[in-house]
Amino acid sequence: MSEILLQIDGKEVDATDGMTILEAAQRVGIVIPTLCHHEKLDPYGACRICIVEAEIRGWTRLVAACLYPVEQNLVVRTRSEKVDRIRKMILELLLAHAPDAFELQELAKEYGADKDRFEKEASFCVHCGLCVRYCAEVKKKHAVGFVDRGTRREISFVPEIASKECWDCKECFPLCPTEALQAAFVLTEALSFPPPAYKPGLKE
């Protein structure tokens, strides 16, 4: 476990080998926004909200703080004109799907994101993957997964597993930043669960 010294927003930070920028920042109380990150899950690096400027040996580039491993003499800037501009756009792109999601609205206020910048999209899933990854990595049930790719990608429950496991679990529901997960479950339930197992309504 070697000691690594890096700089975040002008602050000197002690970190250990194997840490990510996000973990190092959390150590010294610097907040970097995240969406798809969860301490119980492997970092995913998909939402890109945690993007920060990382400078080493004179080269600067944008990296995902939740995944980038700390390096000796790394200089990190968690806010800058460019970083803010990109976070704003990412939020606006997501708000086209889920304009009412609480987490997005909070961040939108901070970065000046306009939820009407883009036309509303049909699906309100933001693909944070928290439900899929939680079910796979923590519960190990694999009841919900991703299907398809690109703009057609969506979450999908496996009816046979969901009908057996989900009712007594539902631990993924509070993780979802939008209503997409609950909606997907209700739809799967309505379409696929055989009549004897059917329980009317989704009780909150």
* Residue nearer to other proteins on the CB measure, 176 or 200: 176
* Residue nearer to other proteins on the CB measure, 41 or 96: 96
We find the least distance from the C-beta atom of residue 139 to other proteins, in angstroms, to be: 12
Q: d(Cα 143, Cα 159) in Å, to the nearest integer?
A: 8
The contact set with other proteins (CB under 8 A) reads: 45-49, 51, 62-64, 67-69, 82, 85-86, 89-90, 93-94, 96-97, 118-119, 121, 126-127, 129, 132, 136, 142-153, 156, 158, 160-161
Q: d(Cα 70, Cα 36) in Å, to the nearest integer?
A: 20
We find the least distance from the C-beta atom of residue 86 to other proteins, in angstroms, to be: 5
Q: d(Cα 64, Cα 121) in Å, to the nearest integer?
A: 26
* Residue nearer to other proteins on the CB measure, 96 or 200: 96
Stretch (H or E) spanning 5:
strand 3-8
* Residue nearer to other proteins on the CB measure, 67 or 183: 67
Query: Is the backbone of residue 201 left (phi > 0), alpha (psi -120 to 50) or beta?
Result: left
We find the least distance from the C-beta atom of residue 176 to other proteins, in angstroms, to be: 16
Tell me the backbone φ, ψ of residue 135, rounded to 5 degrees: -65, -35
